Structure 1
Amino acid sequence: MATLLHIDSSVFPTEASASRAVAEAFRKQWEEQHPEGTVIHRDLAAEPVAHITADAHLAGFVPESAHTPGQAAAFAERVKLIEELERADAILIGAPMYNFTIPSTLKAWLDNVILMGRTAGETQSAKGTPVTVIASRGGSYAPGTPREGYEYVQNYLKAVLADALGLDLEFIVPELTMASKNPAMADLVPLAEASHDRALEAAATRARRLAEHIAA
């Protein structure tokens, strides 16, 4: 049975969050294809993982037999998250842009699962696993736009997910999500709605194709 690891990091509920809404469209299609499968859902806004500590960090570079009690406890929590990553057949991440980058809760999760010599480095224990990132943002940071140089979500996540962890990465980008809330962006509402609709369709299509590929 297929396993989907679903990570949400938006501070808003689904009805007010583009990343959650689009991720939900992906997950719904995935579950239709894998009704007997497993979904591991981590809502980092509701239940954030611990930010990396000195013990948690240093434990990754010390043999387990030499761990202090503090290192052993911290490392055990990291291993739980790493094992979820490793056993997933596909990964879905909601990554809204907050102040030009990802939420700190998502960064904390990444800091925990990136472990040199296991998930990163020469081994890359989850290498090749497909990961779909819903990279929503209030404005547009696409190439050619005035704020292109402020795009630190896709650039960062490509370095971490594709390069460091070796995952098979695809982005879905619903943009202009603040158009309906910001009067100065009122003229952009039709573009925002079109972007949202494209993202929903892309998410369902991506989920269906991945599900079919994994089942084959």
Structure 2
Amino acid sequence: MSTLLRIDTSIRADASVTRAIGDTLQSSWLAANPGGTVVRRDLAVDPIPTPAWSNAVAAAQTDEAQRTPTQRAALALAAAVADEVLAADLIVVGAPLYNYGVSAHLKTWIDLLLADARFAPGTAALTGRPLALVVARGGGYGPGTPREGWDYTTPYLMRIFAEVMGADVTLVDTELTLAEHNPAMEPLRPLAAQRLADAHQRADEVGRELAKAAVTA
């Protein structure tokens, strides 16, 4: 039996594009791997406390006997987050682009994960582990657009998950997701709809591919 860990971060709840694409990936993964288990952590609904990272770092630099209860709790939370990730055969991370970067609650989760000794830089704790990164951007950020180069989410997450943690990252992304809600983007709505459909198709394919890999592993 294999386990999919799903990390959601969108603050838009039922209107979230990354959640919807994540649902498609999860459904196709379960369809091809009916014995699989899904574990979910919703960082928008149940965020990691912001001070947890700094407290965990401080605890790691303090003799065990001198640690405060707050530091001990932060270390325990870091260990729990790390345990959850290490127990998964596949990790799916939904990451909408907020203010051109990574959401605060996703960054806090990553920082806390890296505070666990098993994920310290240089350990590459997820070497060979598949991770599907689902990214949604409200506008257009491709070559030649006014916001070309302003997507600071995707490069950062690809580097953290692939190069620092060693995961085998597959990107499923879409953009122009605000076209349906922004009158100024009305001419872009057909293109936005096509890109969203392509992302769902890609998510379906990735889910099935990773399920088959898990079954044959």
Could you state the TM-score of these two structures normalised by the residue count of structure 1? 0.93
Identity %: 38
CA distance in 2, matches of 1:163, 1:182: 36
List runs of 5+ in structure 2 lacking aligned partners: none
* 1:122 positional shift: 2.7
After superposition, give the CA deviation of every residue in 1:154-174 in whole Å (9 maximum; x if it has no partner).
111122111111111121111
Distance 1:37 1:144, change over 3 A: same
**What secondary structure, in the 3-state scheme, does the structure 1 residue paired with 2:119 have?**
coil
Paired AA for residue 31 in structure 1: L
Where do 1:143-158 residues align within 5 Å? 143-158=143-158
CA distance in 1, matches of 2:64, 2:130: 30
CA distance in 2, matches of 1:206, 1:96: 19
Paired AA for residue 149 in structure 2: G
Instruction: Name the counterpart of 1:87.
Output: 87
CA distance in 1, matches of 2:154, 2:60: 27
The reply to whether residue 33 of structure 1 matches residue 32 of structure 2 is: yes
Paired residue total? 215
**What secondary structure, in the 3-state scheme, does the structure 2 residue paired with 1:123 have?**
coil
Paired AA for residue 28 in structure 1: S
* CA-based RMSD: 1.7
The more displaced of 160-169 and 18-27 is 160-169
Distance 1:53 1:90, change over 3 A: closer
Instruction: Name the counterpart of 2:122.
Output: 122
The reply to whether residue 24 of structure 1 matches residue 30 of structure 2 is: no
CA distance in 2, matches of 1:94, 1:63: 37
CA distance in 1, matches of 2:5, 2:207: 13
Distance 1:117 1:46, change over 3 A: closer
CA contact (8 A) 2:134 2:171 kept: yes
**What secondary structure, in the 3-state scheme, does the structure 2 residue paired with 1:150 have?**
coil
After superposition, give the CA deviation of every residue in 1:83-131 in whole Å (9 maximum; x if it has no partner).
1111111110110011101211111111111137421323222222111
CA distance in 2, matches of 1:45, 1:169: 23
Distance 1:104 1:205, change over 3 A: same
After superposition, give the CA deviation of every residue in 1:130-150 in whole Å (9 maximum; x if it has no partner).
111111011111233221221
CA contact (8 A) 2:48 2:109 kept: yes
Could you state the TM-score of these two structures normalised by the residue count of structure 2? 0.92
Paired AA for residue 200 in structure 1: H
Distance 1:63 1:5, change over 3 A: farther
After superposition, give the CA deviation of every residue in 1:52-89 in whole Å (9 maximum; x if it has no partner).
34321222445656644332111001110001111111
Instruction: Name the counterpart of 2:45.
Output: 46
CA contact (8 A) 2:8 2:94 kept: yes
Paired AA for residue 103 in structure 1: S
CA distance in 1, matches of 2:18, 2:190: 18
List runs of 5+ in structure 1 lacking aligned partners: none
CA distance in 1, matches of 2:203, 2:45: 23
